[in-house]
Amino acid sequence: MQGMGDHLRRARILCTVGPASREPATLRALVEAGADGLRVNFAHSSHEEAATVIGTIRDIARDTGRPLAVLADLQGPKVRVGNLQGSMPIHVDQTYRFVPEGHEVAEVPAESVIPTTYSGLALDLEPGARVLLDDGRLSFEVVRIDGDVVEARALAGGALAANKGINLPGVTVQTDFLTRKDRADLEFAESNHVDYVGLSFVQRAQDLRRAREAIGGEALIVAKIEKAQALVELEDIIRLSDGVMVARGDLGVELPFEDVPMVQKRIIRLGRELARPVITATQMLESMTGQPRPTRAEVSDVANTLLDGTDVVMLSAETAIGDYPVEAVQAMDRIIRRIEGSALLGIDRPGRMPAGERAQVQKSASGAISAAAVEAVERLGASCIVTLTRSGFTARVVASQRPPVPILAITDQWRTYNQLALVWGVQPLLYRGELSFEGMRDHAREEVRRLGLGSSGDRYVVTAGVPFHVAGTTNLMRIEQL
């Protein structure tokens, strides 16, 4: 957190950890530059590497006295090219055979065989279907299915390397949603008390129900939207999650590229309406992987995402493998602050919807209380909103209303304290006193004064859920005076 009052940065920055950033000194520099959360990608990280990174992040959080969220991103049922001996040339109009890894095809030239990690590919495809490799750089049209072999004609060629992703636009993959690797990674993540778990390649609401049963712990679930099928049940998927990610990489391969911007806007809008934090990811400052400054187009992309109301902007390759990881965070911080401080076109708060369009969350008791708190702030000129929360639910609902003042979230739960680091506009504060409304209220008054958010006679708004041990019961609002 970079300050309070008018200097508070509302939108959050999530950084992917990789070879360019996993050293303790670099991780600390990312946090000092403005990172609010760190993403550990299990598609590219061993348990040993992840344990070291998570331990370092917790050390930095203690040293700096600020919350830091850890997101464990599961690989998911990603279909990939299998092992290849070096680079394989793909020639346009030539026929290739996609074969389960380890399967031998008689009387077929080896240079026309593409091994895959998914044995059920032939069951999911039919003639005429498209198969895209390496983020769509290579494309094929299925010609024939022969047992478990898929014959396809190359439409766009190039060089193919091992382990590249395979996308099947419009195809529902029948593999188990949580793979054996995912379950092992999930067990590791829970034992290391991560704050969020990212679910890759969600296709249907049922995927969230199964994942919730498997996770069972206190980590919050982020549904990554990167399959076209997920858009069919999008609202239900978001309702069943604790947060949602616009994963523009695979989504941009699954959909026509011109559709992605409007899908992104739809996801962000639904996230706000349902009080689920939204993370917008992939290629936000991609050029900074190799350059010290972003392009003008990238700056505009980030700015428009913020104006749409995203809670979090995520850096991927920029901080994982880039040459300028710290500079990328600094650039993102500058863009956010400029947009949030702008009065351009009368925009007072990025992502704020007209009152009549905030109906979904306001129909619940928690949403109604939160909306009333924002209204009270505006009518009374209150200096801040204080939420007393154990699970973080109260703070997330208040944040979804985009109040014009800082939100102080007082919690006695260490994991909630860190989870709220990735929620728009929230300053989490850890409480160690008596668990009662009076005790937490008095602590809140002290914190408001300490943070310079008001002086004697100033009013602020308090929301809470009573009793405190029951999650999701925001049912109280009070006007307090310093």
Residues noted as catalytic = 39, 80, 224, 282
**Continuous H helices in 192-322:** 205-215, 234-240, 248-254, 260-273, 296-308, 317-320
Residues with Cβ within 8 Å of 190's Cβ and at least 6 positions away in sequence, in order, are 215, 216, 217, 219
Return the C-alpha torsion angle 186, 188, 190, 191, nearest 10: 160
d(CA 413, CA 89): 54
Q: What is the token pair recorded at 266?
A: 């739809």
Residue 399 sits at φ, ψ, to 5 deg, of -60, -35
CA dihedral sign, ordered 279, 280, 283, 287: negative
Alpha carbon distance 114, 85 (integer Å): 11
| Structure tokens, 231 | 């858009």
User: Are the C-beta atoms of 428 and 420 separated by less than 8 Å?
Assistant: yes
Q: Distance (Å, rounded) from C-alpha 165 to C-alpha 155?
A: 17
Q: Residue 381: which region, alpha, beta or left (left: phi > 0; alpha: psi -120 to 50)? A: left
The four Cα atoms 319, 325, 328, 334 give a dihedral, to 10 degrees, of 110
Q: Which residues contact 108 (CB under 8 A, 6 or more apart)?
A: 97
- Output the CA torsion sign for 356, 360, 364, 369: negative
Q: How far apart are CA 134 and CA 49, in angstroms?
A: 26
Placement of tokens 């959360």 in the chain: 37
CA distance 402 to 425: 8
